[in-house]
Amino acid sequence: MYHYNFYKKKKKKKINSELFLKPTFEVDFQDHIYQVICKEKKIFWIIVVRFQVLGSDKTLFRSLYEFQKSLLNAAKIYYQGKKFYPIYIQLGCTQVILQYWVQEYKTNSQIINDQFKESYSLFLKQNITPVLLPSSKHNLPDATIVIDCSIDRDALMSNISKNTKEKIKKAKKMIESGSLDIRIWKTLEDYEHFYSLYSQTAENKWFGAVTPRMWKSLEEFLIESDQGKLFLITDQESKLISGALCLHDRENLIYLYGANDRRYGNAGISQYLHAYIIEYAHQNKIAHYDLLGASRVGTNGDWLEKITQFKSGFGGDKVEYAWSWDLPFNKFAYWIYTRFS
């Protein structure tokens, strides 16, 4: 069972508070330190706020009112006498409900769907009270896909799907011919070029990119601390066409941001890039490559569906979480806020 919780790690907390400068404070509750992100709106002189807690689990769910009180006490200290009106606490739950091999889903989808429903129903029965509501906003993915890079290399490669292997071969020919080059970052310009392509990718695919200021802070931190790896594929003119930024520690490699030139969309470049990262993790004895984000089991038409299909092509395990839940302070205020904000 994969137990690494990126959302609770000091690295993630540092990115939120010190690098991205999000308004945050911490709650010390039952021997756990929870980071709270304040999503604020100012109405006249009052700060209207929803509190976002990423990486919560069943321990917190079983002591909701106590946690709510602890959070409010910490919020009063954080706001230092300023008038604020709390709407709700958004709990992004990374409690693992089910873990299974992604390739198994193709032949046993109904069995896995039933297993998930059974496990999830048990989780709801044991942990979810009537005061909790399914979250009105997404604040973290419902699942992730994790590659175990510690296994034998042949087994690691054999877990990759036939379709993904064919695309990897297609890109490999371009690498071997010298028309493309793959490497890990060498200069600050590499980070700048990656951010430029990443921003274009975000615009093309309609998702929000981090701001230039946020990126600069993250870039400086990762270079100074050596906790980031930037994998790049360039053409013969050294123009970047694909890249992936990963965070790492001794045991885990976390896929944080990706960037792709859409003119090479059918060339297998992205597939080759991630196969290269998996090989890198294996050779450097990094146990897991977490692709950080996938759609929930049994969903069709989800905004992450195509991304999930792409990530599933590399094999590995799908880890299903318990989704996100809202704890309103006042149900009427919550109803107004979630419909008009």
In DSSP notation, 131-164 reads T-EE-SS--S-SEEEEEETTS-HHHHHHTS-HHH
Sign of CA dihedral 265, 246, 281, 55: negative
Does 30 share its domain with 78?
yes
30 is a domain residue: yes
Residue with tokens 């038409």: 301
The whole-number pLDDT of residue 77 equals: 96
CATH of residue 279's domain is 3.40.630.30
Does 155 share its domain with 133?
no
The whole-number pLDDT of residue 302 equals: 67
Does 118 share its domain with 179?
no
Does 128 share its domain with 232?
no
Does 82 share its domain with 115?
yes
Residue with tokens 């981090």: 210
81 to 46, 47, 73, 84, 330: CA distances (angstroms): 11, 12, 12, 9, 21
206 is a domain residue: yes
Question: What is d(CA 13, CA 36) in angstroms, rounded to the nearest whole number?
Answer: 9
What is the DSSP secondary structure assignment for residue 83, as one 8-state letter? Answer: -
Alpha helices per DSSP H over the chain: 10-14, 58-61, 64-79, 104-127, 153-158, 162-177, 188-205, 212-225, 269-283, 305-312, 331-340
Q: What length does the chain have?
A: 341
Question: What is d(CA 147, CA 76) in angstroms, rounded to the nearest whole number?
Answer: 42
Q: Taking CA 97 as the corner, what is the angle to CA 96 and CA 102, rounded to the nearest 5 degrees? A: 90
Does 86 share its domain with 100?
yes
184 is a domain residue: yes
Does 129 share its domain with 187?
no
Q: Are 56 and 34 in contact (CB under 8 A)?
A: yes
Domain total of the chain: 2
The whole-number pLDDT of residue 50 equals: 95
Does 47 share its domain with 118?
yes
The whole-number pLDDT of residue 259 equals: 93
Does 107 share its domain with 13?
yes
pLDDT per position in the chain (341 positions), as tens?
A: 777 888 888 899 999 999 999 999 999 999 889 999 999 998 888 899 999 999 888 888 889 999 999 999 999 999 998 899 999 999 999 999 999 999 899 889 999 999 999 999 999 999 988 899 999 887 788 899 999 999 999 999 999 999 999 999 999 999 999 999 999 987 888 999 999 999 998 888 777 889 999 999 999 999 999 999 999 999 989 899 999 999 998 889 999 999 999 888 788 999 999 999 999 999 999 999 999 889 988 777 666 788 999 999 999 999 999 989 999 999 999 999 998 77
Does 89 share its domain with 173?
no
Question: What is d(CA 341, CA 336) in angstroms, rounded to the nearest whole number?
Answer: 8
Strands of 288-290's sheet, edge to edge?
96-101, 317-321, 143-148, 288-290, 252-260, 240-248, 228-235, 180-184
Residue 290 is encoded by which pair of tokens? 């977490």
Does 71 share its domain with 95?
yes
The whole-number pLDDT of residue 301 equals: 61
291 is a domain residue: no
The whole-number pLDDT of residue 187 equals: 80
Q: Which domain holds residue 122?
A: 6-144+321-340
- Phi, then psi, of 314 in degrees rounded to 5: -95, 5
Residue 341 is encoded by which pair of tokens? 């904000």
Does 325 share its domain with 202?
no
204 is a domain residue: yes
Contacts 24+ apart (CB under 8 A), 254-258: 254/6, 254/290, 254/292, 255/289, 255/290, 255/291, 255/292, 256/292, 257/198, 257/210, 258/198, 258/201
Q: Are 289 and 300 in contact (CB under 8 A)?
A: no
316 is a domain residue: no
The whole-number pLDDT of residue 204 equals: 80
Q: Is 186 helix (H, G, I), strand (E, B) or coil?
A: coil
Residue 318: name the closest of 147, 164, 81 by CA: 147
219 is a domain residue: yes
Q: Are 90 and 51 in contact (CB under 8 A)?
A: yes
Please count the CA atoms within 13 angstroms of the CA of 130 that sit on its side-chain side: 0
311 is a domain residue: no
Boundary of a domain, candidates 270, 286, 302: 286
Boundary of a domain, candidates 243, 259, 286: 286
Residue 9: name the closest of 229, 248, 218, 323 by CA: 248
